[in-house]
Amino acid sequence: MTGKIVLITGATSGYGLATAKLFKEKGDTVIIASRNAEKVQKTVAENGFADGLTLDVTNFAAWVECKRHVLEKYGRIDVLVNNAGGGLSIRETAEQTREDIDAIIALNLNSVIYGSGIFAEVMKQQKSGIIINISSVCAKHAWGGWSVYAAAKAGVLAFTKGLYVELQKYGVRATCLIPASASTGFQSAAHLAETNDSLSVDDIASAVYYAAALPERAVVEEMTVWGTSQVVEPL
C-alpha cells in the first residue's frame, strides 16, 4: 500500500477514470467505485487499481458498507472524490415526471451528501483528509432544459462550502470542482448530441489532483474549469 488512500466514484469512465489513472500514476492507492459490477472488475483489471467496489451512490446503506470495506482493508481514507453523476433526463422542467426529478436529485446531489457525510466522520477522527465534490458550470449558468440538473449541481456547490466550514476545525478540507463540458459520453447518456469540446477528461483529472495535492495548510474552496475555446455565458 503506497501513497494516499483514494476513493473515486463513477470511475469506470469519463472524469472518474481519468482521475483514477492520474492518482495511480502519482503512486497512490486507488479504489474505484461504480454501480456496474462487470465494468468495475474490467476497469480494475485493465488499469491495475488497488480495488474496485460495486456502489449505488444513491443508496445510503451502500455507502455505509463502502466505508466498512475501506476501513477494514486500508484503515483510513485520505481523498474522496464524489464524481458519480449524470443528466439522466435533460428537458424542460414542465416535461419532467416526478420520477425524473427524483432520480436526477438522488444521483447528482443526495449521493454527494451521503458519501461526504459518511466519510467526513472518518476524516474528522483522523484529523486529515480531503473531500472533492464534482459539480458543473450548470450550477452557475442557465441553459434551457437543464434546470433540474442545474439545481442539483448548485446544491453540490452550496453543500461543499458548508461542509468545509464544518470540517475546517478538524483539519479536513473540502473542495468543489466546477467543470465545463468535456468529451465524456455524458451527452449521449443524456440523449443529447455530442459536442466537440476543447476540454479533455485529463484536464479535469489534473484539476482534481491539484486540489488534493496542495499542502494541508491550503485549500481550494471552489474551482471552475473552462476550455479556452468555450464561451462563458453570463446567466
Which alpha helices (H) appear in the chain, and where do they start and end?
A: 14-25, 37-47, 60-74, 98-105, 111-126, 147-167, 186-189, 201-213
136, 178 in Cβ contact below 8 A? yes
Residue of 149, 164, 170, 210 with catalytic role: 149
The beta-carbon contacts of 70-74 under 8 Å, at least 24 apart in sequence, are 70/5, 70/7, 70/31, 71/122, 74/1, 74/5, 74/29, 74/31
Active site residue 149: yes
The beta-carbon contacts of 125-128 under 8 Å, at least 24 apart in sequence, are 126/76, 126/77, 126/172, 127/170, 127/171, 127/172, 128/78, 128/171, 128/172, 128/216
Q: Report the candidate in 10, 172, 170, 25 with the shortest Cα–Cα distance to residue 81.
A: 10
- Compute the distance between CA of residue 54 and CA of residue 62 in angstroms, rounded to an integer: 9
Catalytically annotated residues: 149
